[in-house]
Amino acid sequence: MRQIVLDTETTGLEPYDGHRIIEIGCVELVNRKFTGNHYHQYLQPDREIDQGAMEVHGITNEFLEDKPRFVDVVDEFLEFIEGAELVIHNAPFDVGFLDHELSLLDTNKGKLSDYCSVLDTLVLARQMHPGQRNSLDALCKRYEIDNSHRELHGALLDSEILADVYLRMTGGQTSLTLGRQNAANQQTTETTVRRISANRQPLKVIKASEYEATEHQKKLSSLNDAIWNQQEG
């Protein structure tokens, strides 16, 4: 099964107020393993970023001046996610923005649902932990995932963190960092095997004495008699 853990950063909260996507980050999982493949792109939104949004992700208007527009990367992006299950935290937000970006194109690209399915980890977390906080930070704390390096939101970083959270939530790996390091090396080993040295000292075998063997046999005979008598009673 191929899954794409996805996150976006935007100029504001509502696409229908003219806000746009400025960053897309995707991390690929195949059969619940990190493959090392990812998609990451900053985008020129052709509008100013709201101050509140800038305080969340730290991306500035000046930084995006020379970045491509969504129309320039849409084919590459859709090719990367096509046929996969998208794993998104609070999916309506990201899907709403992506569908809006697709609707602004001159060519008919349809909607995100035409290319892939979506799993909302926020819905999943609320089902698993009703009445509790289920933000990404709260889930990291609950599942003991280190996100201390996350001072600001970032689409690729948040996708990587969400991938760890999702795997832990759904009952998988116990060493997620190891899994990612192996993915970077194109390896997918989940278990470390400790091998015993061929030069080790042979194990000492101590045999029972004749007396110990006789006493052991007497004990077994008495147990057998007790069980037999109990069954007859």
Q: Are 6 and 41 in contact (CB under 8 A)?
A: no
pLDDT of residue 194: 35
Is 89 designated active site? no
pLDDT score of 232 more than 80: no
8-46 per-position pLDDT tens digit: 999 999 999 999 999 999 999 999 999 999 999 999 999
pLDDT band for position 211 (cuts 50, 70, 90): confident
Alpha-helix runs per DSSP H in the chain: 51-57, 70-81, 91-103, 121-128, 136-142, 155-169, 176-184, 210-232
pLDDT of residue 142: 95
149-206 per-position pLDDT tens digit: 776 689 999 999 999 999 999 985 444 444 454 444 444 333 333 333 444 444 444 6
pLDDT score of 126 more than 50: yes
pLDDT of residue 153: 83
What's the CA gap between 148 and 65, in Å, rounded?
A: 30
Catalytic residue among 38, 40, 129, 153: 153
| H or E stretch covering 5 | strand 2-10
